[in-house]
Structure 1
Amino acid sequence: MELYGHPFSSYTWKGLIPLYAYDIPFTFREVNPMEQNEAYAFVQSAHPVGKFPVLVDGDHSVCEATAIAEYLAARDPEAAALIPADPIEAARARMMDRFFDHYVMDVGQLVVNACISNPENPDQTQVEAGRKGLLRSYAWLEDWLAKHDLPPHVSLVTCAAAPSLFYADWIERIPADCPRVAALRAEILALPAVARCVDDARPYRHYFPPGAPDRD
């Protein structure tokens, strides 16, 4: 298998984490949009709008990080733990996957996009919307975690939560009144597969548009 992506990309992390966690052999193909290398050209043809990650497994090509995790769970017996066997629990896991992608990752992206569009004077309407949206999502998640448990192993939810909470906290710090969210972030970042993604991305931190904090 081959995974096309970039080490600093949050959605690439989401594809890498299950591969690392379940020791699935693969080759990483780094996509460089700045140089438009061979891997970049492949992604442009393989993905509907030229985005990564893209997983290639023989004649099969899978794009979108959630679909990659689902594919790995179906293909590899060890990685089956990514998706709960119980249908109700599986539905809950998919719900939380969507929560982290849409209401943490994508909301934080509003701030990132504003800083990319105008580094000197980001659109404060978008910045404020992103930061307020993250605070609302943190509050919802804090309440949800008080009532539900997440599996202790790497799961679909872990794959979504790790990059979204990692970068979101850089944009808007998890507040003191959300201790469960802060604890979840710390617990997930300590997982070996996630820690590997964090370390591999360190050389690229200066590219983070809002500015990377000196922590993590």
Structure 2
Amino acid sequence: MGGAEGTAMLLYDHPLSSYAQKIRIALREKGVPFTAELPESFGTGRSDGPFAAANPRAEVPVLIDGDATIFESTIILEYIEERWPEPPLLPRDPAARAFARVTEEVCDTQYEAVNWGFGEILWFRRATGELADRMRAQAAAQTRVLQDWLAHRLGDADWFGGARFGWADAAAAPLVNRSVHYGLGPAAGSALAAWHARVRERPSVAATFAEFEAAAARMAAASDHYTSGGRRREYRDHRLEWMIKSGGVEVVLAGLRDGNIRFPWPGGA
């Protein structure tokens, strides 16, 4: 692993965020020290304080490295790769680099939205009864489609980049692992299940997954903060799309009525 000099960077994040986990994995792969901090105003949509000053969207992750303040996980990942090029996460070949970025894009959009929607039902009880059953079934079916797509891209290789762990592995690992946590993991004996078993043993990933599991164990106790309106889950882009297309229109309407969901900046607090 590579090394880094100077003061440890500040990473505003949440250990349950797949976007933040991707950044933790990348920093650890490169041996870059960082301090992770859950913003005090996280989930409130507040526009005051250092977190909102660093990212007006009030979303994690945010990386603060000296005078540089960067938000949006893909841009942070690009910054890390350029700032600490060794060991590389992106391959040198342009087509292989594009392959990695496409894998990340689908994980960040379609896959994250399915996992997020399933969590809305499991952890935050946004739907109950028959509606919850239908939406869970939708999430399970969509997860299988996404995992089949990932398995096809993995093929017979150990890693998505071929012979070495890289960008796409860091991006896919949190998503597949969350599916495993939900009981929606890859089929036993499949190439994707073998990849997950392999990736979770990697020190950078193992540490990140342990933090995820510890935070997930506390979610039941914290969920009331999000349903009471004290904190509000952000219904953004692909997440909102997932909720609508998977039968959760009334979930969105109830969240608006009860004031316990929010939309992105500007004007979405």
**TM superposition score category, shorter chain reference:** 0.7 to 0.9
CA contact (8 A) 2:42 2:58 kept: no
Letter in 1 for 2:19: Y
CA drift at 1:131: 1.2
CA drift at 1:173: 2.9
Task: Determine if the alignment matches structure 1 residue 137 to structure 2 residue 146.
Answer: yes
CA drift at 1:154: 4.0
Q: Structure 1 or 2: larger helix share?
A: 1
CA drift at 1:120: 5.2
- Matched residue SS, 2:69: strand
Letter in 2 for 1:173: G
Residue matched to 1:173: 185
Structure 2 CA distance, aligned partners of 1:77 and 1:135? 34
Give runs of aligned pairs for residues 66-215 of structure 1, distance below 5 A.
66-79=74-87, 81-115=88-122, 116-118=124-126, 121=129, 123-146=132-155, 150-151=160-161, 152-171=163-182, 172-176=184-188, 179-208=190-219
RMSD over equivalenced CA pairs, Å: 2.5
- Matched residue SS, 1:133: helix
Structure 2 CA distance, aligned partners of 1:33 and 1:179? 42
TM value normalised by structure 1: 0.82
Structure 2 CA distance, aligned partners of 1:69 and 1:154? 15
Structure 1: 5+ residue stretches without partners: 210-216
Question: Aligned in 2, Cα 1:47/1:17: closer, same or farther, shift over 3 Å?
Answer: same
- Matched residue SS, 2:155: helix
Residue matched to 2:266: none
Query: Displaced runs of 4+ in structure 1, greater than 6 A?
Result: none
Question: Aligned in 2, Cα 1:74/1:132: closer, same or farther, shift over 3 Å?
Answer: same
Structure 2 CA distance, aligned partners of 1:154 and 1:173? 20
Structure 1 CA distance, aligned partners of 2:98 and 2:107? 14
Greater mean deviation of Cα atoms: 197-206 or 67-76: 197-206
Give me the identity figure in percent: 26
Between the two proteins, the alignment pairs up a number of residues equal to 204
Letter in 2 for 1:85: R
- Matched residue SS, 1:56: strand
Q: Deviations over 1:33-85 (max 9, x none)?
A: 5797xxx9433332242110100112211112221111110111314x11222
